[in-house]
């Protein structure tokens, strides 16, 4: 007597698993893409690429701003706190719009923070921070803002007015100090 059911070969099982994984990935992408943006009425700026809405922390997708305590050099060689300046610039972009902040979550990072593309008054903040020179394109995660970074560098805007350590290099070199330091409090209003 022969069995009506045959065992699937190893390759067939792998193909089935890949198919299921692909369907799940497409479903997650569609849900994230079609999900309407969240409105944040009173976000607090943590630094040049992070916000807090209540207890939820939001990281701006595809960009990397200087760490809050990071210093940079102006063209004349004088040092300034570029991390605070980047945070102030982000806060001013939000304040100038006079509108609620809208964020579309595109991912979650390894620290369980929402990673989002945010807009205020119709202007995308991720792009504005890079175009204005207060953040760099975070090419480890996206190439979206690379052209904006080139324009800011060419025009010597923001960080590009002098020289600076890329934020990722600064973090790597200062990992021990950054890990033990208390996170900065959101900036007080001007």
Contact indicator for 146, 139 with CB cutoff of 8 Å: yes
Q: Which of the four pLDDT bands, split at 50, 70 and 90, describes residue 106? A: very high
Contact indicator for 134, 141 with CB cutoff of 8 Å: no
Considering only the C-alpha atoms of the chain, give the largest distance between any 2 of them, rounded to a whole number of Å: 89
Nearest partner of 94 among 65, 119, 113, 58, judged by Cα:
119
Contact indicator for 82, 157 with CB cutoff of 8 Å: no
CATH numbers and ranges of domains, the chain? 40-177 (2.40.50.90)
Contact indicator for 104, 116 with CB cutoff of 8 Å: yes
pLDDT at site 188:
47
C-alpha Rg value of the chain to the nearest Å: 21
Nearest partner of 186 among 57, 93, 70, 39, judged by Cα:
57
Mean pLDDT of 5-31: 65
pLDDT at site 190:
45
Contact indicator for 65, 84 with CB cutoff of 8 Å: no
Classify 49 as helix, strand or coil.
Answer: coil
pLDDT at site 130:
98
pLDDT at site 189:
46
- Which tokens in the block code for residue 129? 């921070």
Is this model's pTM higher than 0.85 or not?
no
């Amino acid at each position: 007597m022969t069995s009506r059911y045959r065992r699937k070969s190893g390759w067939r099982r792998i193909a089935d698993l890949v198919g299921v994984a692909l369907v799940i990935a497409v479903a997650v992408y569609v849900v994230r893409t079609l999900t309407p943006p969240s409105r944040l009425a009173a976000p607090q700026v943590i630094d040049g690429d992070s916000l807090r809405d209540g207890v939820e922390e939001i990281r701006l997708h595809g960009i990397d701003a200087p760490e809050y305590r990071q210093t940079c050099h102006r063209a004349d060689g004088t040092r300034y706190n570029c991390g605070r300046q980047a945070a102030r610039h982000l806060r001013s972009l939000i304040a100038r719009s006079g509108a609620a902040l809208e964020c579309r979550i595109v991912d979650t990072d390894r620290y369980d923070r929402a990673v989002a593309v945010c807009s205020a008054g119709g202007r995308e903040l991720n792009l504005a921070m890079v175009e204005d020179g207060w953040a760099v394109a975070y090419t480890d995660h996206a190439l979206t803002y690379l052209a904006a970074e080139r324009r800011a560098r060419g025009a010597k805007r923001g960080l590009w007015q002098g020289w600076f350590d890329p934020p990722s290099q600064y973090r790597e070199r200062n990992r021990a100090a950054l890990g033990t330091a208390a996170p900065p409090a959101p900036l007080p209003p001007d």
